[in-house]
Structure 1
Amino acid sequence: MQVTETLNEGLKRGYAITLTADELDAKVHEKLAEAQPEVEMKGFRKGKVPMALLRKQFGQRLLGESMQEAIDGAMSKHFEDTGDRPAMQPEVKMTNEDWSEGDDVHVEMNYEKLPDVPEIDLTDLSVTKPVAKASDEDVEEALKNLAETAQDFKERQDGVKSKDGDQVVIDFVGKVDGEAFEGGAAEDYPLTLGSNSFIPGFEEQLVGVTKGEEKAVEVTFPEEYGAENLAGKAAVFDVTVKEVKKPVAAEIDDELAKKFGAEDLEGLKGQIRERLEAEYQGAARQVVKRRLLDVLDEKVQFDLPPSLVDAEAKQIAHQLYHEDNPDDHGHDHGEIEPTDEHKTLAERRVRLGLLLAEIGNQHEVQVTDAEMTQAIMNQARQYPGQERAFFDFVRQNQQMQQQLRAPIFEDKVVDVILDKAKVEENEVAKEDLQKMLDELDEV
């Protein structure tokens, strides 16, 4: 097997591989000899079929297989000997397309190698991490918002008309063609106007009613309504309004705390403080991670494989197109040409991706099976009722697994770097932390 270099330009490499006819023939013979002991053929005992007959019977079938194995073996040996790691799948093609049995096989292989990533002293890196504490005011504000979500209803004065968001307590009887139907009546039913819990058009007609008022509400059941005897039918509901109540925030007391699983109000405040500080820590993590990546991006420069940069730029352009055009759910919009801004961002992502991968390999960072399982389960929750099918799909899809593994690996490498770098904590107000977070989205 002869391998000759034809291209060595930057990270681009090209090689001509020649597999001689004798080498290919020897490979076929080796396969036939390996199979001979198990072959049975009419007129011959098992294992006694002559090699010439085996070659005539199976030689053509083994020729292509042997050729592929020999070329794959030559490529594997080449990467082992040179230490090259192709950035993407090498382009391999046969150059003598008029090849016939007995000829040498000529193959051309081209690829871009991954660059040698320079080592950096992680202890020489420095970054500032914002730290925000949950103040008493923050806790009180969150507690107030929580009380509003746990709203109660208080009766309005007689004669005051109902508004959207109010609760009306009603008796009603529904009729189709003048006849009451099963399930169409109730007494003392509390209905929140605007909740869309009744047939379309029902709640809107009760906005503006007063206590004691009687009203005929006319609606039409949807065509796809669950009860076939009512689907698409016009109906009239005779409604008596017994109470009109306005929404009021729940009292901030021990009873409210118990609604949210705490023993008392102080316990609920403690839970809120922990939740707020966990949110602040998550935000601070995003900020310090971006700052760290900025430091790394400025500190390290090396050649990048053009194919990786181009692929990343196209991916960025495609993603941003769909963000700008959310109503376009298909992919028949034609090719989206990346801009210079997309290419610059792609270069940064590729450079940082290669650098983090190298640091991760040096420090033996691994994504565990438990971490992968948790990531899959988190994604599966987005598909209620289909969690098992999604789980099985990911298990059988290497590309999907890589998409889930990559961010976990990146975060673990960032943790390694932050553990060794000089990290200075700087206490900030939550408003300043939010501003820092917003600025990340603008970049």
Structure 2
Amino acid sequence: MKLTVVGGGSTYTSELVDGFARLRDTLPIEELVLVDPAAERLELVGGLARRIFARQGHPGRIVTTADLDAGVADADAVLLQLRVGGQAARERDETWPLECGCVGQETTGAGGLAKALRTVPVVLDIAERVRRTNPDAWIIDFTNPVGIVTRALLKAGHKAIGLCNVAIGLQRKFANLLGVTPAEVHLDHVGLNHLTWETGVRLGGPAGENVLAKLLTDHSGTIAADLRLPRPLLDCLGVVPSYYLRYFYAHDEVVRELRTKPSRAAEVASMERELLQMYADPALDEKPALLAKRGGAYYSEAAVDLAASLLGSGGSTYQVVNTYNHGTLPFLPADAVIEVQASVSGLGAAPLPVPSVDPLYAGLMANVTAYEDLALDAALRGGRDRVFRALLAHPLIGQYEYADALTDKLIAHNREHLAWA
């Protein structure tokens, strides 16, 4: 089995490689190819990857290359984890929206739209080259904004599926609170990427006992503190929102916070510099503890399970993925990309049935889906008017004065990545 990681020079890669090494019986990789144009970073990451494999006795071969076409040739799956514009672009995404009193964040709001506009054309070009070179390969997208990028891939006819680590992180946290193994916890996870709610926590599988009410009764204070949301809100909702919902439920509070501290991008850039220094140490043969603060916890476990199920080598039967709606949520278009539990096999993902969704969050899903439709149109066709329409539709923006000012700022800060600007 050959698996290719595009964006293999990312510091995330050692988390991924650690999972591949530990879970080699689930996903028996014979060749792992790391593709990245940043030669210096790629060499550091590739060196550590080989040492991790060697330490854990993995017999697989690790190849590093800047040649995308060669890297994806004959691959069974291609995993995308790239950041167009790097941390410098992320830094801008997290700062210029604050000038208009709107949240600055890399995957939602105006910053999220900027990332989508930079990313979608690049990902589609990569996917088309994968299709020309290797039309049978699965494309697994971990590149944010995952929902919009996955929708772009699916609309272009690619064998694609989106992956996020939010659900697996919550699964691990709930298992710890309940005193059970993660494998025993099945989430009724519903929503869009980075806009999700856990409407049930079941023991043993989709038909298992729903212990969400008990979880909230016994641990709502802990969960609320972890989400940085007030406990009475959690009690009112009766479900567990993802931490991204804080940008919606406490927008102005978040803006005030973001204006008084360094950006997350600056923190991550500092961590990346330190991590790359660690990776250069020839004695390091495991992922460093610092990587846990970088983000992407449990990413490797989720990626291994998903790839194993798609490629028929095992893995979990049910997984949270990003895929077409196709009637699963009847209040959304069929071609909306939703993030839900699905049965995953070599044929792809088949979402599990979802009970009726409370209007409290169904309405927000519908609003953000409409924004994502306009965002994808702007990413595919460009133009100031399309950017403005997407921003006007976003529930975190909405007012025409903000949308107008943010449109100009977005274009000014991203002109080098926008072919039409």
Short-chain TM bin: under 0.3
TM-score, normalised by the number of residues in structure 1: 0.19
Relative contact order (alpha carbons < 8 A, sep ≥ 6): 1 or 2 greater? Answer: 2
Bigger Rg, structure 1 or 2: 1
Question: Taking structure 2 as the reference length, what is the TM-score of the superposition?
Answer: 0.20
Higher relative strand content: 1
